[in-house]
Amino acid sequence: RDSGISPKRLFLAGFSQGGAVVYHTAYLRWNEALGGVIALSTYAPTFENVNQLSPVQAQTPALCMHGSNDPVVPFAMGQAAQQQLASWGVPVTWQDYPMQHEVCQQQIADISHWLSKQLQ
């Protein structure tokens, strides 16, 4: 920001526990514009006691991705985070893949496509 990069071009991304940190930071702690959030195979343990987001937080788009066979972070926990974001009015995109607690090539391509759209 200090070097002239707009916060709307900054994205927070995290996998597993890192995704939980990203959710918390972007939607509960940071109250300025962001380009978006990329949350991979994660959950949102700190969303439970929050009723609403600030208007700026609610405008931060999210890309939520999860493996349908994830034995580490259950699929339902990933879906619950996505559904909570949607209930707050966050522009959220959900994608799931037939994989476990990992990242696949299709997912990387989908991230690239989503980022390209957000940066237009």
Q: Is-catalytic flag, 110? A: no
Give the chain's end-to-end CA distance (angstroms, integer): 19
Is residue 24 flagged as an active site residue? no
Pick the catalytic residue from 3, 70, 110, 113: 70
Catalytic residue status for 2: no
For residue 92, count CB atoms less than 10 angstroms from its CB and return exposed for 0-12, middle for 13-18, buried for 19 or more: buried
Catalytic residue among 16, 68, 96, 116: 16
Query: Within 13 Å and on the Cβ side, how many CA atoms surround 27?
Result: 36
Task: Quickly count: other Cβ atoms within 10 Å of residue 29's Cβ.
Answer: 10
Rounded to whole angstroms, the Cα distance separating 3 from 1 reads: 5
Count of CB atoms situated within 10 Å of the CB of 7: 12
Question: Which of 2, 41, 68, 101 does the annotation list as catalytic?
Answer: 101
Q: Which residues are catalytic?
A: 16, 70, 101
